[in-house]
Amino acid sequence: MKRSRNLKSAMLFLAMTIAFAISSANAAFAGVEFDQNVTPDVIFGAGNDNGAFTTDRRNGIELAIRAKLRFNASGLPENTFNSNGNGTYSFPAVGLVAPFGFGFAQPPTTTPIWNFEWSVNTDQDGTTGVKLDDLTYELGLDFDPSTGTDFLKFDNITPSVAVPFYDHAIGDNSTPNGGGTEAVDNTTYVALLAGNNVAQNSWSYEFFNDAPFDGFDPTENGTYAIYLLAKNSDGDVLARVNIQVLVGNGQPAPDHVQCYDVKRATKLYPRPKVSLNDQFAYRDNVRVNKRAELYCTPVDKNSEGISNLDNTWTCYKVKSSRQKQEVVIDNQFGEQTLRLKKSEMLCVPSKQLSTRPLGNNGGDDDDDDEDDD
């Protein structure tokens, strides 16, 4: 029999509300890599090692962020990055004791032991000639310790009336380790942006401890998302990178999922039968449809980041089972009451082996796929 559009829409809605976290397909985030060096090197300060950056290299641009231990037990910085290899960085939830911390922030009750360090290279491979002032930027700092987000957003490079210049280390692809130039006024800064393609800095949340983001508590268990993006003059995002800093018992924020309708899937032979046991019921010998219905990949919603690029899922229709239940949930959209009717799909963790574009005529828009039930 044919599947109606209403049933298809219902199944899509059901799949998008399933309670597991999914991260993005590798093809959609081809530029994102972990534990990378930046180009040309770390050019700010002295004695700062390269490496452990999460990077996005697209459209000739390299954006990078990492977290770093800024204050050890002796109050000194270390080349310790505590990368987990997936864009997250872990640090203990401890406070600093005076006189440790920054001199302008004593006692250091709102100073974390970690900094975040970022790098922008607008001509990473030296072929585009794009300079720092050819683009605009947005840096987002999450001050919500939960897995939700509350971002302070601003352009961390382009000068303004409020911030006529920054103390970034600026250079080009030949600048050596620690060899960046810092501006001392707006005139110098504007000239540096016009003549160079690399800007970097190491910042603390303490630097942004102003209302409404004052009162940051470095001893609280938390998950803090940080993102950096670059846009052209049309407002198109050319590259974007995200990390999460996990403090104490903070856990990576669950990834959001975007599900795609599947057309012309190859059939499974023999047809699977499985036993299913969830909080509502146990069922044995449940028939699984031969064809996949949905393919679910990660999506970076509102620059909240992605914690696992390899976690993709394929959903199959199963022989339905009525199970009338009422469930109350709470998520970032608000509290809702859900009335469950029947089971529809089984979603299976899947390893993506390859992708290829099909073009405009690569798929059908009709709903004539046959139901195997």
> For the segment 213-242, what is each residue's pLDDT rounded down to a tens digit?
998 999 999 999 999 999 999 999 999 999
Q: What is the pLDDT of residue 355?
A: 86
Confidence of residue 26 (pLDDT cuts 50, 70, 90): very low
Given pLDDT bands bounded at 50, 70 and 90, which one contains residue 85?
very high
pLDDT more than 90, % of the chain: 62
pLDDT(306) > 90: no
Provide the residue ranges of all domains of the chain, joining segments of one domain with +.
5-22+257-350, 30-250
**Greater pLDDT, 2 or 326:** 326
Number of Cβ atoms within 10 Å of the Cβ of 6: 8
Q: How many residues does this entry show for the chain?
A: 373
- Inter-residue contact 82 to 239 (CB < 8 Å): no
Residue 281 has a pLDDT of 85
Contact call for residues 271 and 371 (beta carbons, < 8 A): no
Instruction: Give residue 81's pLDDT.
Output: 98
pLDDT band at 304 (very low <50, low <70, confident <90, very high): low
pLDDT digits (tens, 9 = 90+) for 319-369: 888 878 899 887 777 789 999 988 889 999 888 888 888 876 655 554 444
Q: What is the mean pLDDT of the chain?
A: 86
Please tell me the predicted confidence (pLDDT) of residue 361.
61
Q: What is the pLDDT of residues 27-83, one digit of tens each?
A: 334 478 999 999 999 999 999 999 999 999 999 999 999 999 999 999 999 999 999
Residue 301 pLDDT: 76
Q: Which residue has the higher pLDDT, 97 or 191?
A: 191
**Torsional sign, CA 175, 179, 185, 188:** negative
Distance of alpha carbon 206 from alpha carbon 274, whole angstroms: 53
Given CA atoms 84, 253, 38, 72 in this order, what sign does their dihedral have? Answer: negative
- 144-187 pLDDT tens trace: 999 888 999 999 999 999 999 999 999 999 999 999 999 999 99
Q: What is the pLDDT of residue 19?
A: 34
- Residue of 199, 204, 216, 184 lying closest to 103 (CA atoms): 204
Query: What's the CA gap between 210 and 336, in Å, rounded?
Result: 34
Predicted local confidence at residue 13, as pLDDT: 41
**What is residue 359's predicted lDDT score, i.e. its pLDDT?**
73
Q: Please compute the mean of the pLDDT values over residues 9-34 and round it to a whole number.
A: 45
Q: What are the CA-CA distances from residue 122 to residues 9, 140, 285 (Å)?
A: 43, 19, 57
* Bridge partners of residue 260, in order along the sequence: 295
DSSP conformational letter for 181: B
